[in-house]
């Protein structure tokens, strides 16, 4: 189902309820599961942005990018360098946010340019290399001039402060006491809404159709008058922008960044979100991002469960998590190869096959 259709149709009520639910969600989570879960929800929102960004590149334009985390890293380090004691800078967030997004977009074009002629597995290998290069650069750019502080990472990053209102500490708002993760939740929610809106507009636009056309048949797309080079670069740049945005928010929320956070596994996780949820479908990608963020956290409790049932922990929950996650992916690909919520096109295809 298309979010746009819901909003346009008679279902204003559904949208209203969804909004109220989303506003109340952090209160419920904090009261029932505690503050650590509120942070997990915040991360889920960051991952939604990342997944939607990667969805533009992989889902719409069909360019398999295994180094997407590089843009997340670029955005995060932009923020870290411009708002921390490392360089003694503390620029306001409305300066850093566009700068981070723009630098990430630039890196998107930088990655896109040499890979224009590549597709499929070849492109995947090059992007994988790109992701690793960025991470290794960040890891080693502490000498001769210390830019990134190397493996130690950058600490004491300033929290976001909007007009003197810091999201980094507990605040009183309208008589309610809101913790920092709670405040960040609303900011992230707003950003997610913005990203979703942009994605929806893109999906049904001339550019969106051009991306799909390139994915389907690049030669026919070129013959139809699409400047395939620019449109592909635009996909990389747009995807990277969302990655950079998400990275910046991550840095300020976490207060600390290090190269470790941006390894290949992160890229693969973001890709899994898209594949699991339904490539090319906004709602599917959102669901995928939430599941892939929340389920591994929930699986931490398997340790407590083992303790309760057997009196001791047989398998380290950390190992079990990856095992179960891997199994879930395998099962998904066997049972629902086009994801939990396939895109419009994929769903039609399946319906026709059944008919």
Distance CA 35, CA 250 (A): 17
Contacts of 229 (CB under 8 A, 6+ apart): 116
Q: How far apart are CA 146 and CA 141, in angstroms?
A: 6
Q: Does 354 bind other proteins (CB under 8 A)?
A: no
Segments in the chain forming alpha helices (H): 3-8, 12-32, 35-54, 69-82, 93-112, 120-140, 180-203, 206-216, 218-223, 228-254, 264-277, 282-298, 302-310, 317-335, 344-354
Q: How far is the CB of 241 from other proteins (least distance, A)?
A: 24
Q: What angle do CA 87, 90, 91 make, to 5 degrees?
A: 120
Contact between 216 and other proteins (CB under 8 A)? yes
Binding part of the chain for other proteins, among 78-86, 180-188, 213-221, 304-312 by CB under 8 A, reads 213-221
Q: Which is nearer to other proteins, 70 or 226 (CB)?
A: 226
CB of 283 to other proteins, least distance (A): 18
Q: Do 216 and 61 contact (CB within 8 A), yes or no?
A: no
At 210, list the tokens: 């051009």
Buried b (16+ CB within 10 A) or exposed e, 167-206: bbeeeeeeeeebbbbbbbbbbbbebbeebbebbbebbeee
Verify binding: residue 142, other proteins, rule CB under 8 A: no
Q: Which of residues 170-209 bind other proteins (CB under 8 A)?
A: 206, 209
| Window 70-89: residues binding other proteins (CB under 8 A) | none
The answer to the question of residue 222 lying near other proteins (CB under 8 A) is yes
Exactly one of 82, 212, 257, 276 binds other proteins (CB under 8 A); that residue is 212
Q: Are 268 and 54 in contact (CB under 8 A)?
A: no
Q: Please check whether residue 257 is in contact with residue 157, taking contact to mean a CB–CB distance below 8 angstroms.
A: yes
- Residue 155 or 228 with smaller CB distance to other proteins: 228
Residue 345, interface with other proteins (CB under 8 A)?
yes
220 binds other proteins (CB under 8 A): yes
Q: Which stretch binds other proteins (CB under 8 A): 13-21, 132-140, 151-159, 217-225?
A: 217-225
* By CB under 8 A, residue 223 contacts other proteins: yes
Binding span for other proteins by CB under 8 A among 100-108, 138-146, 224-232, 250-258: 224-232
Q: Whose Cβ is closer to other proteins: residue 243's or residue 278's?
A: 278
Give the contact letters, 226-265, x = binds to other proteins (CB under 8 A), - = no. xxx-------------------------------------
Interface residue with other proteins, options 124, 210, 249, 271 (CB under 8 A): 210
Query: Shortest distance, CB of residue 263 to other proteins, whole angstroms?
Result: 33
Tokens (6 digits) for 242: 């969302």
**Residue position matching structure tokens 């001039």:** 145
Nearer to other proteins, 86 or 346 (CB): 346
The number of CA neighbours under 13 Å toward the Cβ of 148 is 21
CB nearer to other proteins: pick between 241 and 338: 338
312 binding other proteins? (CB under 8 A):
no
Q: Pairing mode, if any, of strands 171-173 and 165-166?
A: unpaired
- Among residues 124 and 213, whose Cβ is nearest to other proteins? 213
Nearer to other proteins, 217 or 260 (CB): 217
3-state secondary structure of 314: coil
Sole window of 14-22, 220-228, 269-277, 314-322 interacting with other proteins (rule: CB under 8 A): 220-228
Q: Does an H or E element contain 84, and which?
A: strand 83-84
Q: Which residue ranges make up the site for other proteins (CB under 8 A)?
A: 206, 209-210, 212-213, 215-217, 219-228, 345-346, 348-349, 352
């Amino acid at each position: 189902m298309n979010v746009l259709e819901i909003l346009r149709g008679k279902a204003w009520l559904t949208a209203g309820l969804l909004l109220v639910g989303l506003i109340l969600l952090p209160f419920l989570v904090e009261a029932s599961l505690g503050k650590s879960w509120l942070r997990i929800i915040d991360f889920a929102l960051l991952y939604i942005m990342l997944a939607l960004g990667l969805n533009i590149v992989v889902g719409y334009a069909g360019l398999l990018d295994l180094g997407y985390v590089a843009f997340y890293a670029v955005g995060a380090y932009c923020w870290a360098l411009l708002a921390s004691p490392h360089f003694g800078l503390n620029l306001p967030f409305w300066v850093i946010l566009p700068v981070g997004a723009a630098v990430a977009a630039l890196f998107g074009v930088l990655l896109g340019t040499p890979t224009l002629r590549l597709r499929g597995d070849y492109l995947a290998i090059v992007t994988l290399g790109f992701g690793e290069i960025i991470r290794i650069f960040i890891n080693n750019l502490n000498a001769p001039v210390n830019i990134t502080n190397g493996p130690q990472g950058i600490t004491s990053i300033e929290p976001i402060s909007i007009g003197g209102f810091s999201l980094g500490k507990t605040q009183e708002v309208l008589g309610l006491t809101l913790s920092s993760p709670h405040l960040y939740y609303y900011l992230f929610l707003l950003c997610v809404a913005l990203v979703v809106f942009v994605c929806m507009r893109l999906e049904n636009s001339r550019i969106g159709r051009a991306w799909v056309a390139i994915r389907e048949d690049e030669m026919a797309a070129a013959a139809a008058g699409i400047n395939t080079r620019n449109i592909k670069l635009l996909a990389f740049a747009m995807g990277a922008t969302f990655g950079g945005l998400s990275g910046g928010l991550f840095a300020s929320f976490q207060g600390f960044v290090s190269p470790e956070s941006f390894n290949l596994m992160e890229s693969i996780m973001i890709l899994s979100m898209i594949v699991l949820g339904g490539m090319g479908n906004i709602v599917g990608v959102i669901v995928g991002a939430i599941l892939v963020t929340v389920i591994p956290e929930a699986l931490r409790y398997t340790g407590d469960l083992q303790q309760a049932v057997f009196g001791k922990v047989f398998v380290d929950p950390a190992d079990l998590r990856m095992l179960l996650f891997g199994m879930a992916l395998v099962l998904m690909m066997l049972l629902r190869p086009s994801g939990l919520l396939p895109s419009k096109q994929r769903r039609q295809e399946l319906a026709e096959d059944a008919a």
